[in-house]
Amino acid sequence: MDSGFVAVLMGSDSDLPVMQACLDVLGGFDIAYEVRISSAHRTPEATRSYVEEADSRGCQVFIAAAGMAAHLAGAVAAASCKPVIGVPMDVSLNGLDALLSTVQMPGGIPVASVAIGKAGAKNAAYLAAQIMSIADPALAGRVRADRQASADAVLEKNQALQDKLRGA
């Protein structure tokens, strides 16, 4: 099933090293994605234009990463009714300013928010995959398999620890 794609927007090219974790997760699930640098403040018209155009081409989920004032996710949410996931970046104030800007959206224009930085970048991709898997049984199977592989890895690490502690 063609599930569309995820649009990943970053406020700056300096966000790419952190957001690469997002792209890696999306790629691991065979989810198509596009990546753009766009600014809610410096290029508001271009941001809106891209969001509307991506929306019309089948974008299913938007992921927006930004630091400081972090209004990129809000600008995207204002231009689309598709799910928007905000990734606060640690640019200043340990990312708390970006986190608060991302989560404090006015009622009626929701933005899902994930953790600050790399963990958030990964979780944004996992959340996008879960959202898209609602309408894509094959993707749902890949998400479940990934979750099971993660659980198996923890169990294996625990077993290795137990063996080491017993001197085995």
Q: Check which CATH number belongs to the domain holding 83 and give it.
A: 3.40.50.1970
Q: Is residue 148 part of a domain?
A: no
**pLDDT value of residue 1:** 44
Q: Is residue 64 part of a domain?
A: yes
pTM: 0.93
DSSP, residue by residue, 23-47: HHHHHHTT-EEEEEE--TTTSHHHH
Q: Is residue 20 part of a domain?
A: yes
28-37 pLDDT, tens digit each: 999 999 999 9
Q: Is residue 113 part of a domain?
A: yes
Q: Is residue 153 part of a domain?
A: no
Tally the C-alpha atoms within 13 A of residue 154's C-alpha that lie toward its C-beta.
5
Q: What whole-number distance in Å separates Cα of residue 112 and Cα of residue 104?
A: 10
Q: Is residue 61 part of a domain?
A: yes
Q: Which domain holds residue 73?
A: 5-136
Q: Is residue 23 part of a domain?
A: yes
Q: Is residue 152 part of a domain?
A: no
Tokens of 11: 């406020």
Q: Which residues in the chain land under pLDDT 70?
A: 1-3
Residue 105 is classified by DSSP as: P
Q: How many structural domains does the chain have?
A: 1
**pLDDT value of residue 62:** 98
